Amino acid sequence: MLINKAYKFRLYPTKEQEIFIAKTIGCSRFVFNRFLGQWNDTYQETGKGLTYNACSAELTQLKKEFVWLKEVDSIALQSSLKNLADSFTRFFKKQNKAPRFKSKKNPVQSYTTKETNSNMAIVDNKIKLPKLGYVRFA
């Protein structure tokens, strides 16, 4: 039996880590908005949207064009694409409205990452996050 668990932590990052978290959130928002625009254009022209696999393949080309996308956690960028694909799937099933562009002015900003190859760990009162290192938490 497979059991999924999710945890929420209150982080206390250093100044450098705060900057890195802001970069990651900004890059995730950029990827989401960029592909949402492409998805909307494709939907208006053909009546169908893109697929997650097509967008994921194009994300690697986007990283070559925008080098600063390589600085952040790649799983966060893929998660934002996955959220976009899920959101369009629910839209096509008429379960919700069409996805909207993400705003920098929204007071709630976050990004999602996943554990792969033991890239996350908890040691004492610190959590190790991908590309971020150890961050104090409560």
pLDDT > 90: what percent of the chain?
Answer: 49
**Total structural domains in the chain?**
1
Residue 96 lies in a domain: yes
pLDDT digits (tens, 9 = 90+) for 3-45: 887 777 788 999 999 999 999 999 999 999 999 999 999 888 8
| Residue-range definition of the domain harbouring residue 56 | 11-137
User: How high is the pLDDT of residue 37?
Assistant: 93
Residue 2 lies in a domain: no
Give the residue among 11, 4, 1 at the shortest CA–CA distance from 134: 11
Residue 59 lies in a domain: yes
- What are the phi and psi torsion angles at 9 (to 5°)? -125, 150
Rounded to an integer, the average pLDDT of 107-131 is 87
Residue 61 lies in a domain: yes
Residue 101 lies in a domain: yes
Residue 44 lies in a domain: yes
68 CB-near residues (< 8 Å, 6+ apart): 23, 27
